[in-house]
Amino acid sequence: MWHLFEPVHAVTYFAPQSHAAASELGLKGFWAGYVVLRSAPLGRVEAPVVTAAFYGFAPRRIAKVLPAAWGAVSPEQAVDVRARAAGDALRALRPGGIDEVADALEAAADAVDVGGRVLAAANTGLPRRDDPYERLWQATTTLREHRGDGHVAALVAADVPPVESHLLKVAAGESEPESLRLGRSWDDEQWSAGGRRLRDRGWTDDAGGLTAQGRAARGDVERRTDAAASGPWRALGDQATARAAALLRPIAEAVAASGIVPFPNPVGLTWPPPVPA
């Protein structure tokens, strides 16, 4: 399900409608838009709170944007603008017939357990949108942040700090190292130190590839992440989940075919989705 709802959510980072909306708010550059729009459901919070919630970013990436941006735009404005822009991006790809899939994904989003999940909780607390494309996007966003919060918990429990979490993705062949390092604003020394720590743990070899121990450790984190993300789908049941997947797939396919979301990408999202075991 993540492979199906993540592309729909991800239009908010890559679609021209979203970039234009951020610029109209006075947010200069990709990362200013990313930080403000994604963190807006949390309210007018300080940079350390957002850094903690996002987890994978160097503090300076967030501190360059917050709290200064809150002098130009309110969180309420940012929440409204991001939903409208994402809805416009999806509408341009899939005209009509969206109400049923929006209803199905909202039912899943309504079933998320937000205990210990800050970004998921913030998104569930937002007013429900009227437009079906915006409703669909917001539902995928809530599900995405719910899964992400659970992933952060799994990483923390496994003593995997942010830099090492990225390097494990690189070692697994899911993401390019420079796009992660530069995008998340880690400097060369921080990146290298993370690599040394992984080697010292026996999780990577001298070439940066995963060892057997590293594959097992990373596999455990991913299994725990999937288990933590399974609640909404268990609540829906197998039949309703299968129906949601069938409804969502054409929209995810349209996003992938449009080129709006790049493949490969820093998220490690691939297309087409893997065949379920």
Task: For 228-276, write each residue's pLDDT tens digit.
Answer: 999 999 999 999 999 999 999 999 999 999 999 998 888 889 999 888 7
Residues facing residue 210 across a β-bridge: 204
The Cα–Cα gap between 6 and 167 comes to 21
The pLDDT of residue 96 is above 80: no
The Cα–Cα gap between 53 and 146 comes to 12
CA 192 to chain centre: 25
Neighbours of 40 (CB within 10 A): 26
Which comes out higher in pLDDT, residue 85 or 269? 85
Least confident of 23-27, 97-101, 237-241, 271-275: 271-275
pTM for the full predicted model: 0.96
Number of domains present in the structure of the chain: 1
The pLDDT of residue 94 is above 90: no
- Interval 178-224: pLDDT, tens: 989 999 999 999 999 999 999 999 999 999 999 999 999 999 999 99
Average pLDDT over residues 151-178: 96
Residues facing residue 113 across a β-bridge: none
Least confident of 3-7, 80-84, 140-144, 175-179: 175-179
Interacting residues of 18 by C-beta distance below 8 A, sequence separation 6+: 11, 12, 33, 37, 82, 85, 86, 89
Average pLDDT over residues 128-148: 98
pLDDT of residue 275: 80
Residue pair 156/56 in contact by the 8 Å Cβ criterion: no
pLDDT of residue 268: 86
The pLDDT of residue 277 is above 70: no
| Enclosing domain of residue 261 | 1-277
Model confidence at 78, pLDDT cuts 50, 70, 90, reads very high
